[in-house]
Every structure is written in structure tokens, then in C-alpha cells.
Amino acid sequence: MWRYAIKPSLSSTVGLILNNLFAVTKIKTCVKHLQLLKSLNIRVKLDSKINKYWFNMLNKYVRVLPKLGEFSQLSKYTGGQRLVKSISTCPVLQERSNYSPSYYYKMNSKHLSKDSLQPPTTEKIRIYSMRFCPFAQRALLVLIAKGIPHDVVNCNLKEKPTWLKELNPLEKVPIVELPGGKVIYESLIVADYFDEMFEARRLRAVDHVQKAIDRIWIDRFGKAIANFYKVLFAIPKDDQETIQKYLPRFATGLKDLDKELSERKTKFFGGDDLPGMLDYMIWPWIERYPVFKAVIPAQYSDDVQKLTNDVSTINRWTADMMQDFAVKEFILPIEVHKEFIQSLLSGSPNYNILDAKL
């Protein structure tokens, strides 16, 4: 039983919770009451003496740690001094406490790595991403286009956070954590889920046949994506055989897409007004195509330039897509894409090119 009577005053409730917070035998009881702390915009952290299971459980019930100095106000409550001392002396928390809540949830924020703590959930949809991942971009474009409130947590995919595997055994992004704790992943599944569950601006075709045709083209473009990466990763190895084999296959996939859009006689694959699901699902690789042209070996530059000239409809579509508000919200300069891709090909990807400076 909770041994104190909970008073109506929120501040007195905080005092009572903090008074018991560091007694391991009372942690389980405290958990039931920590929901009351949500409205205070504080995050309770425990020192290494507290069992990790309860540490993680408590994190589910409270919000993000504000700057360390803001904790001084807690010292006037019973038990608050001990909480402040625990935070002040814990190295992991000292680093984390220097950031505001938005540090974790911004699109361009720092990528969390193997030693990072898992940020607490909010009441929004949470998407675990990697800022330069085109597959995660698919999901985020849908969220932005449909105006769905969400948080973004970027993850280092070379030194993955230890908790990432608990969310997705494949340890790939995007991973979507829904309010209530359920988790879904895989970019196309996630995109379809968002479009089905949120009615605002339907992205898939209303006509069932057209919807199926669009999905066929997404799958067909998937083969072009595979060829794109085979060429890309053959470049640092100077693997001429692989480049010669898969560059024409990538070109064929892009030309087929160009022909399809030309035959539709529409501004976008989804129609004349706004991009649809097919547009958003192929866009991330078209955004990166200029980088592909920039890093390809010189002896293939004429082939790539010819491909660019042969897909005039896609070129026009690209210019139109760059005016779409969802694309503009997420797009990165070519120089940034190039810097990341070059770091990726070197074997040391620089995930934090766009670190938020907080």
C-alpha cells in the first residue's frame, strides 16, 4: 500500500513520490503514481543502485529530462535533494541533462548509439529513424503529408542502441511505436498503416485496380533500388564488373518509370493535384540520384548523363515534387547527401552531419 495519503496538491504529490523513490522495496508502488508527474515536464532518473528493470519501467511513466539547473526547484520537496544529487553524480545523466526535450524528437537530432538510453515515449506516434535512410524517409513523408503529429528518434545504424533489437529484431528503421506501446516496422507496411488509419488526405488511389497497379510499380522500382545500391557499393571497391552489370539494369528501371508517368499524362503518379503514395515511395531515391551521378566513376559519366537525358518526364516530375510541402520539409541539400554517402562508402558513416546544436 502507498503509505501516504495523496493530497490534491500536485506539488505535495511530487514530494511524496520523491520521498519513496529511492527505496527499492517501494519502487513498484511508486510506479502506479508516477503518471501524476507527466504534467510537470520532468524526468525521474535513478542511480546505478536501482534495479535496471524498475529503471526502465519508471521511464515509461515520466517525461523528458529538462536541463539540470531546472532540477534545483525540486530540492525543496521531501526527497528532492536526493534526486538532484543522483542526477548530478550520474555520468550518463549529466550528458543527457544538457539537452531540452526537443533534443530527442527533432528530425535532424543526434543519432543515438549503443550506449544511449532509450528516450521516453510521449503521447504522439514515435518513429525511430536514421536521417539519411531513404526507407525511413518514406514513412516520414507520409506522416508529414497527412499532418500526423509524431516524434522522431534518430538511431546510429552502425553502433545500434542496445534497445533497438527489442523494438525490431531486424534492427532496421523505420520502426513505429504507437501510443500504447505496439510496434510496427517495414517502410511500405508503415506507410500503408498511416494511410489507412488516418483519413486526412488519402494517398493511395481510391480505385482498387489503380491502387494495385501503383503497388506493382512500387515493387518494380524496388528492383531498381537494389541495382542502385549494387552499383553504389561497387564504386569504392572499383568493381568494374558489378558496375557494368547493374548500371544498365538501374537505367532500365528508371526508364520504365519514366514511360509509365508519360502514359498517365498527369503531373504526379497520384494525379494532377498532389503526389500520391507511389510518388512518395519512390521519391527518396530520386532525391539521391544527383549524388549517384556525382560519385560514379568518370568512365561511366556519359552513360549516366544519357540516362538523365532519356528520362525527361521524370526530370519534370522531380522539379514538381521539389515544390511539394512534405518533400520540402524533409529534403536535404545534395552536398549533404554526398557527404553522408561518401562517409558511408568509406566504412565510417557520419550520422551526425546535421547534429542539432542545443
Q: Extract the C-alpha cell encoding 16.
A: 511524496
Give yes or no for residue 220 having a pLDDT over 60: yes
Q: Cβ atoms within 10 A of the Cβ of 174, count?
A: 25
The Cα 236–Cα 148 span in angstroms is 40
The Cα 131–Cα 220 span in angstroms is 25
The Cα 156–Cα 148 span in angstroms is 25
Average pLDDT of 307-319?
95
Give yes or no for residue 15 having a pLDDT over 60: no
257, 321 in Cβ contact below 8 A? no
Give yes or no for residue 208 having a pLDDT over 90: yes
Average pLDDT of 117-138?
92
Residue whose C-alpha is closest to residue 278's, from 199, 217, 191, 193: 217
pLDDT confidence band for 206 (50 / 70 / 90): very high
Per DSSP, the residues of 145-172 read: HHT--EEEEEB-SSS--TTHHHH-TT--
pLDDT score recorded for residue 147: 92
Beta-bridge mates of residue 125: 150
Cell numbers 533489437 correspond to 165
In this predicted model, what pLDDT tens digit does every residue of 45-86 receive, in sequence order? Answer: 433 334 344 444 444 433 333 333 334 444 444 444 554 454
Q: What are the residues whose beta carbons fall under 8 Å from the beta carbon of 304, sequence distance 6 or more?
A: 247, 292, 293, 296
pLDDT score recorded for residue 82: 52
Question: Do the bridges between strand 183-185 and strand 175-177 make them parallel or antiparallel, or are there none, so unpaired?
Answer: antiparallel
Average pLDDT of 89-118?
61
pLDDT score recorded for residue 105: 60
Residue whose C-alpha is closest to residue 194's, from 143, 127, 137: 143
Q: How far is CA 230 from CA 133, 157, 239, 292, 345, in A?
A: 16, 19, 10, 12, 12
The single-letter code of the amino acid at 139 is A
Residue 133 among the catalytic residues: yes
Which tops the pLDDT comparison, 79 or 223?
A: 223
Q: Cβ atoms within 10 A of the Cβ of 197, count?
A: 11
Q: What DSSP designation does 109 have?
A: P
* Residues written for the chain: 358
The Cα 241–Cα 248 span in angstroms is 12
Cell numbers 537494389 correspond to 226
Question: Percent of the chain scored above 90 by pLDDT?
Answer: 59
Give yes or no for residue 26 having a pLDDT over 50: no
145, 203 in Cβ contact below 8 A? yes
Of 255-259, 267-271, 298-302, the range with the lowest mean pLDDT is 298-302
Instruction: Share the mean pLDDT of the chain.
Output: 78
Average pLDDT of 200-227?
96
Give yes or no for residue 211 having a pLDDT over 90: yes
Give yes or no for residue 90 having a pLDDT over 70: no
Average pLDDT of 285-299?
92
Which tops the pLDDT comparison, 216 or 122?
A: 216
pLDDT score recorded for residue 109: 84
Question: Percent of the chain scored above 70 by pLDDT?
Answer: 70
In this predicted model, what pLDDT tens digit does every residue of 170-200 receive, in sequence order? Answer: 999 999 999 988 999 999 999 999 999 998 8
pLDDT confidence band for 252 (50 / 70 / 90): very high
Average pLDDT of 300-325?
94
pLDDT score recorded for residue 354: 84
Helices (H), the chain: 10-20, 27-31, 52-59, 80-89, 91-96, 102-105, 134-146, 164-167, 187-197, 208-234, 240-264, 277-287, 289-295, 301-310, 312-321, 325-330, 334-345
Beta-bridge mates of residue 153: 128
pTM for this predicted structure: 0.72
Tell me which of 30, 90, 133, 155 is the catalytic residue.
Answer: 133
